[in-house]
Structure 1
């Protein structure tokens, strides 16, 4: 499911002539914001429900360079969820469909009054049911990876 389309802004390009690593994280953060709007957690929804999402963990993998003005498309897949957490996989693609980067994220639902984890409000939970999901055995190849130096 495409969650975000954008282009590489001139300010995102670094001294190497391609999108800076921090800007990949920015694009994935914008994708989370867009997802929040789609599930009813826009500014009005957050205020009305007293509820938001916090990012607990992210694992970003860089695959290819992105350059100034290049169109970007971000997709999202739900890997798992429980009453208050989302395990999501985002992929950033170029106009040819090549994967530029991936971001695996764990998000937590938060009651904004108590600043504590809380179950998804019913309307948000129903909207989350509409996200494309995958079974653990068929996760994208880059999902579930760990950082480390392979030893032989």
Structure 2
């Protein structure tokens, strides 16, 4: 399995009255990247139909580190921090064209049996993809944004 990367450009409708990418649009970008990640691990539209299985986002935490502007290209990478039979703890990093980290999103995803409408273990092939991604980075230091709490 090759490494995952999602690339996009900031469209004009994502820019707010401050002249930079609106905070909601960072979340849209991460959502699009998460959908692409789900496809990347083998749970694309055909597999979702075949298995009657999908993934839901349970929780997210976004950190905004640098501004993005109209027309800026960004790349989002994904790292599996941990997983179990039904959940993936995912960390997404957004980089600008210069390779500088501009935003991060930590996510918890849950596998869902669409026929039952409830959490269920991943299909075996999906578990294998998730495990492969996890194994590639499990010994790396965790990003400093992981597990952050909001407070004064």
* TM-score bucket of the superposed structures, by smaller chain: over 0.9
Aligned to 1:122: 124
Instruction: Pick from 73, 80, 84 the counterpart of residue 86 of structure 2.
Output: 84
Q: Does 1:69 align with 2:71?
A: yes
C-alpha distance in structure 2 between counterparts of 1:119 and 1:2, whole Å: 23
Deviation at 1:115, TM superposition (A): 0.9
Q: Does 1:138 align with 2:138?
A: no
Task: Tell me the TM-score normalised to structure 2 length.
Answer: 0.93
Structure 1, residues 88-127: CA drift from partner, whole Å, max 9, x if none?
1101000111111000000000000111100000011111
Aligned to 1:59: 61
Structure 1, residues 69-90: CA drift from partner, whole Å, max 9, x if none?
1010001111110000000110
Q: Is the 8 A contact 1:86 1:108 kept in 2?
A: yes
Instruction: Pick from 104, 107, 110 the counterpart of residue 105 of structure 1.
Output: 107
Q: Does 1:18 align with 2:33?
A: no
C-alpha distance in structure 2 between counterparts of 1:85 and 1:2, whole Å: 19
C-alpha distance in structure 2 between counterparts of 1:34 and 1:96, whole Å: 23
Residue correspondences, number: 148
* Counterpart secondary structure, 2:144: coil
Aligned to 1:148: 151
C-alpha distance in structure 1 between counterparts of 2:93 and 2:55, whole Å: 20
Structure 2: state its 5+ residue gaps: none
Aligned to 1:44: 46
Alignment RMSD (CA, Å)? 1.2
Task: Tell me the TM-score normalised to structure 1 length.
Answer: 0.93
Deviation at 1:2, TM superposition (A): 4.0
Structure 1, residues 32-67: CA drift from partner, whole Å, max 9, x if none?
111111112111110111100000000001001000
C-alpha distance in structure 2 between counterparts of 1:9 and 1:54, whole Å: 26
